[in-house]
Each structure stands twice: as C-alpha cells, then as structure tokens.
C-alpha cells in the first residue's frame, strides 16, 4: 500500500513539473519570455585602432549594446578589413553587409553636391566649418544622402586641416610644379592641385604608403591623424602647413538597417550617433595637439612659412572653372557665411 501511495505521489509530482515546463514555454501562459531577436550592426572604416574614429566606434558599440540589453550586437572592422571607403559605401547602398561607415566628398559620384566638402580653402576655420555642417547646407546634404544613397546621417566627425607631406619643403605653389601627389578620388581636389601646378593622382588610402616608399608618388595630403595612421612619417620628411582643406566626414547608417529596427532601438541608435560625435570631437581636439609632437618626434619637419594666400588664390581659380552646377549654389552659400 505504501508503495502504491509513493507511486501516486511521484506521478503527481511528474505532472506538476511537466505543467510548469509547458507553462514556461512562452505564449500567454506566463513564465520567462523567449529571448528577443538580436540585430547585428557592422561598422567598416579605413583607419587603425589608435585613431579617434575607431575609438568612437567602440564607444558607439558599448553604448548601444548596453542600452539595448544585448538586442543589438555591433561588430567593428578597422584597417580596411572589409575594403576601401568606396567598398563600404557600395556595401551600404546595396545592403551588402556594411551598415555604418564614415564618408564625405568621396561620395560625390553618387551625391554630386558632396563635392563641396572637397573644395580647398572654402571653409576657413573650425567655427566656420561647424556652422556649415549644422546649417542649411549640412541639412541639405543629409537629405540628399538619404534620398540618393540609402544612408541616414547619425552625425559627423570634424577633420583636421589637410596638409601636404613631401621630401622637400613646399612653401609656394611654384614648389608643387610637376609634383606627383596622391589625392582622394575627387574631381574638385584634382582640379585644385592641377591649378597649383602639381600632378594629382587618385589612389586608395591603403596603397599610399607603398607608393611613397617606392617613389611612385612624391607626396600626399591628409589631416595629421591620417598622416600618423598611415605611418607616412616613415617615408616623408616634411609636413607643409598648407591647411588647404577643412572638412568633415558623415557617420552614415544604412537606411534599410535603420528601418529594420524597432522604434525603441532606432531611438537608441540615433542617440548613440549624437553621443558618438561628441565623444570623438573631444578626442579630436586633444589629438590635434598631441599629433604635432608625435610627428616631429618621429622625424618630420614642419614648414610653417607657407604662402597660404597664394595657394588659396590659385586653387580657388582652378576650382571655380570646374565647379559642377549642383555644387555652385552650396559653394556660394558657404562663402557668404564667412
């Protein structure tokens, strides 16, 4: 009899346990909810892990992963691991796997108006640049990126002034005569350096160091951060303070990816973009001060006595002859803001 009672009790316990398992299996019965779907966001960029862009990428990753409770997973691919900037742009536009990239005037083949970001000596100071970026011109560019390129702007990174590096001092436009210089794939930048007497050669950033090392090109032009990132101080002796271009890059997110997110995660990503921009800007200001020290301590000589007025006059004359129609109104607006 005791054996029978024991069997009945064990059977009842088994039924209750089974009931609890079924009740916890989801649906409207209560119990633990099924884990939410995780959304993956892939960031592709061309710089190394020491660059402020990468550090800002890590900040964004931490912010949205924590804020989403793990519903967003961010993967970062630095050092052109997924290809060049153009490759990242194409991937976003075709939903090819890259979700966030950093881009600007390199996109003018898709959004011609973005060519205005590559006009030398157009923006004359950091204050001028930031007024343009948040003003009517910046808003128009953001709208065009969304409409023409499937890209939602989350913010922007101010770039330091671009300077020419070389193995001889560059003080006047005459010093650039016949000088083979790597430039980004921007028709306006090419026109500006042709007007200065140089021989501009568009080339992917990842190829520049080897081209300098082998003497295929004489020099290149970039902000201080990119000169360090590219290790150009190892193959270039002079940093010439031409400061010929002040610009920014947009933090762009695939609109398809954005629309795939629930509303609360969309809001989180937008907030992450704003905070990412502010975080990177603080790093940028600090880095600009430290970069000069780094580059001089690694053998570069700064050429300070550059005739910027002569460079600006010649470059602007050349650019204005080739300004595409879509850019001219923006160009005029920016000049009027000075």
**Beta carbons within 8 Å of 94's beta carbon, 6+ residues apart:** none
Identify the structural domains of the chain with CATH numbers, from first to last: 37-336 (3.40.190.170)
DSSP result, 68-115:
TTTSEEEEEE-TTTT--HHHHHHHHHTTSS--EEEESGGGTTTSGGGG
What's residue 297's pLDDT?
97
What's residue 31's pLDDT?
38
What's residue 36's pLDDT?
62
Judging by beta carbons within 10 Å of its beta carbon (0-12, 13-18, 19+), is residue 194 exposed, middle or buried?
A: middle
C-alpha 54/C-alpha 66 separation (Å) is 18
What token pair was written down for 217? 């090109």
What's residue 186's pLDDT?
78
Q: Is the full-model pTM beyond 0.85? A: no
DSSP result, 196-236:
TT-EEEE--GGGHHHHHHHTSSSEEEE-HHHHHHTTGGGT-
What's residue 105's pLDDT?
85
**Beta carbons within 8 Å of 167's beta carbon, 6+ residues apart:** 218, 219, 236, 237, 238
What's residue 108's pLDDT?
85
pLDDT in tens, the chain (338 residues): 444 443 434 343 343 333 333 333 333 333 344 346 799 999 999 999 989 999 999 999 999 999 999 999 999 999 999 999 999 999 999 999 999 999 998 898 899 999 899 899 999 889 999 999 999 999 999 999 999 999 999 999 999 999 999 999 999 999 999 999 999 877 888 999 999 999 999 998 989 999 999 999 999 999 998 999 899 999 999 999 999 999 999 999 999 999 999 999 999 999 999 999 999 999 999 989 899 999 999 999 999 999 999 999 999 999 999 898 999 999 999 999 87
CB-CB neighbours of 115 under 10 Å: 26
C-alpha 290/C-alpha 285 separation (Å) is 9
């Amino acid at each position: 009899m005791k054996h029978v009672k024991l069997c009945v009790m064990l059977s009842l316990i088994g039924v209750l346990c089974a009931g609890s398992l079924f009740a916890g299996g989801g649906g409207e019965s209560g119990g633990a909810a099924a884990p939410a779907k995780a959304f993956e966001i892939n960031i592709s960029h061309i710089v190394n892990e020491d660059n402020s862009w990468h550090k800002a990428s890590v900040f964004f990753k931490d912010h949205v992963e924590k804020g989403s409770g793990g519903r967003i997973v961010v993967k970062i691919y630095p050092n052109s691991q997924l290809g060049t900037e153009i490759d990242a742009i194409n991937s976003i536009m075709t939903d090819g796997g890259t979700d966030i990239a950093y881009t600007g005037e390199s996109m003018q083949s898709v959004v011609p108006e973005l060519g205005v970001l590559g006009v030398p000596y157009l923006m004359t100071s950091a204050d001028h640049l930031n007024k343009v970026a948040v003003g009517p011109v910046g808003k128009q560019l953001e709208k065009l990126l969304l409409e023409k390129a499937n890209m939602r702007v989350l913010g922007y990174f101010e770039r330091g002034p671009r300077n020419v590096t070389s193995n001889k001092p560059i003080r006047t436009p005459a010093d650039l005569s016949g000088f083979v210089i790597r430039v980004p794939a921007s028709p306006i930048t090419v026109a500006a350096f042709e007007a200065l007497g140089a021989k501009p050669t568009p080339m992917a950033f990842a190829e520049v160091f080897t081209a300098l090392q082998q003497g295929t090109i004489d020099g290149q032009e970039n902000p201080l951060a990119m000169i360090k990132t590219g290790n150009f101080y190892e193959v270039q002796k002079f940093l010439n303070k031409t400061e010929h271009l002040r610009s920014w890059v947009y933090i762009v997110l695939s609109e398809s990816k954005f629309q795939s997110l629930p509303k609360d995660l969309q809001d989180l990503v937008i907030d992450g973009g704003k905070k990412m921009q502010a975080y990177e800007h603080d790093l940028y200001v600090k880095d600009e001060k430290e970069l000069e020290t780094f580059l001089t301590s690694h053998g570069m000589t700064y050429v300070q006595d550059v005739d910027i007025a002569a460079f600006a006059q010649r470059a602007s004359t050349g650019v204005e002859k080739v300004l595409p129609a879509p850019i001219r109104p923006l160009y005029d607006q920016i000049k009027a803001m000075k």
